[in-house]
Amino acid sequence: MNAFPHVLSRRGLMVGLGVASLSGLRRPGRAAQAFNVSYVRQPFNVPQIVMRERQLLEQRLRPLGFEVVWHDITSGVLQAQALAAGSLDIGAVMNPASVIMALANGNPLRITGAVARNRKLAAILTRDPRITRVADLKGRTVAGVKGTALHQYLIAALQDAGLSIGDVAFLDMQLPVSLAALQSGQVDAAVLAADLILAAQRQGAREVPTRPGLLQPVTITCARADLVAQRPDLVRLYQQAQAEAVAFVAADPDAAIRIACKANGFSLEDGRTLYSWAEFHTRLTPADLESLERDMAFLIENRMCPRPVDLRAALFEAT
């Protein structure tokens, strides 16, 4: 999942990454070329953390003359922008909303695989004892991050309760700011993800119940289109590293959770809880593609996406 948007500006991102983009084959005697990959530790992307910590991608690319450069970019929107600018080669963990909106706005990225099926994407938290169900949010102030899967989750929850996003005062706030606003009483509720759900609960907030399975998106990996066209072998090597990481997690989940907890500064108890909220895999199934189609229909219906796109045409290889 990439529910945590980054506060870095688009300009700052492009300046920071711009000179490091991949440009072709290495020539003898030249320094290693950068292969730029987003590093999305949170909310709890265990396989990618394992991939980096065990240098699974480096082992494959270094012999070919490439140096893997990891960029701490969590926001799917910023990953899409960096892919379009050529500043990022692989957007490692992107939510469906960011990918669909990027494609609809003419960003020719390619979907190369899956990351996780999320059993629990987000939650609506409140400290107000008068709010016991989603319908009680009518007329209330709710914090969240606009244009993300969390925003989509809130809209879906409201619609499921017979309301619309217009029935609440929605404040666009980054996730840590949303949590702080909830704890200080500046907002009545906040849409949070992963460890921030657990942090809010420890500080006295309660989860507002929603229908089970309301929104369980598939997080996905994307590559920039010209990389796919020029060096599909490098994309396949990334896929191999990702598959090896997922296999490691499946074979020894306790070791993988410990690695991911150390990288994120989480307790093992929290790590085990977060791990139970996702199912990690690498290939998009027909059911996953149907889920993406439903996400797209939802985004269009709620005017978050300007037009439909052919998602299957955006696949790196047929699934």
Q: Which of the listed residues 208, 236, 255 is the one where a domain comes to its end?
A: 208
Q: Determine the Cα–Cα distance for residues 171 and 173; give it in Å rounded to an integer.
A: 6
In a domain, 319, yes or no: no
Q: Which of the listed residues 208, 229, 250 is the one where a domain comes to its end?
A: 208
Q: Are residues 148 and 95 in the same domain?
A: no
Tell me the mean pLDDT in the region 13-39. Answer: 62
In a domain, 23, yes or no: yes
Which runs of E-coded beta strand occur in the chain?
Answer: 33-38, 66-71, 90-94, 110-118, 123-126, 141-144, 169-172, 189-192, 206-208, 218-223, 278-280
Task: Summarize pLDDT for 269-312 with one digit per residue, the tens.
Answer: 999 999 999 999 999 999 999 999 999 998 999 888 999 999 99
Q: Which of the listed residues 173, 208, 243 is the one where a domain comes to its end?
A: 208
Contact 154, 192 (CB under 8 A): no
Q: Are residues 18 and 34 in the same domain?
A: yes
Q: Determine the Cα–Cα distance for residues 191 and 188; give it in Å rounded to an integer.
A: 11
Q: Are residues 138 and 95 in the same domain?
A: no
Rounded to 5 degrees, what are φ and ψ at 310? -90, 95
Tell me the mean pLDDT in the region 143-151. Answer: 88
Q: Are residues 232 and 113 in the same domain?
A: yes
State how many domains the chain has: 2
pTM of the predicted structure, to 2 decimals: 0.86
Q: Are residues 252 and 204 in the same domain?
A: no
Report in angstroms the alpha-carbon separations of 54 from 66, 72, 136, 263, 304: 17, 17, 47, 12, 38
Q: Determine the Cα–Cα distance for residues 109 and 180; give it in Å rounded to an integer.
A: 35
Q: Are residues 93 and 231 in the same domain?
A: yes
In a domain, 139, yes or no: yes
pLDDT at residue 136, rounded to an integer? 99
**10-36: b (≥16 Cβ within 10 Å) or e:** eeebbeebeebbbeeeeeeeeeebbbb
pLDDT greater than 60 at residue 209: yes
In a domain, 296, yes or no: yes
In a domain, 268, yes or no: yes
Of residues 24 and 133, more confidence is placed in 133
pLDDT greater than 50 at residue 27: no
pLDDT at residue 215, rounded to an integer? 84
**Helix or strand (DSSP H, E) at 154:** helix 149-160
pLDDT at residue 147, rounded to an integer? 76
Mutual angle of helices 268-275 and 194-202, in 10-degree steps: 130
Task: Summarize pLDDT for 163-207 with one digit per residue, the tens.
Answer: 999 999 999 999 999 999 999 999 999 999 999 999 999 999 999
pLDDT greater than 80 at residue 65: yes
Task: Summarize pLDDT for 34-59 with one digit per residue, the tens.
Answer: 999 999 988 899 999 999 999 999 99
Q: Are residues 150 and 227 in the same domain?
A: no
% pLDDT > 70, the chain: 90
CATH number for the domain spanning 58: value is: 3.40.190.10
pLDDT at residue 26, rounded to an integer? 43
In a domain, 31, yes or no: yes
Task: Summarize pLDDT for 72-99 with one digit per residue, the tens.
Answer: 998 898 999 999 999 999 999 999 999 9
- Residue 197's domain comprises 123-208
Task: Summarize pLDDT for 232-245 with one digit per residue, the tens.
Answer: 999 999 999 999 99
Q: Are residues 281 and 200 in the same domain?
A: no
pLDDT greater than 50 at residue 317: yes
Tell me the mean pLDDT in the region 218-229. Answer: 96
Nearest by Cα to 151 from 114, 185, 194, 122: 122
pLDDT greater than 90 at residue 31: no
pLDDT at residue 40, rounded to an integer? 94
Structure tokens at 168: 């609440």
In a domain, 24, yes or no: yes
Q: Are residues 238 and 178 in the same domain?
A: no
Q: Are residues 225 and 173 in the same domain?
A: no
Q: Are residues 199 and 268 in the same domain?
A: no
pLDDT greater than 60 at residue 249: yes
In a domain, 1, yes or no: no
**Average model confidence (pLDDT) across the chain:** 90
Other CB atoms within 10 A of residue 258 CB: 13
pLDDT tier for residue 30 given thresholds of 50, 70 and 90? low
pLDDT greater than 90 at residue 109: yes
Q: Are residues 168 and 92 in the same domain?
A: no
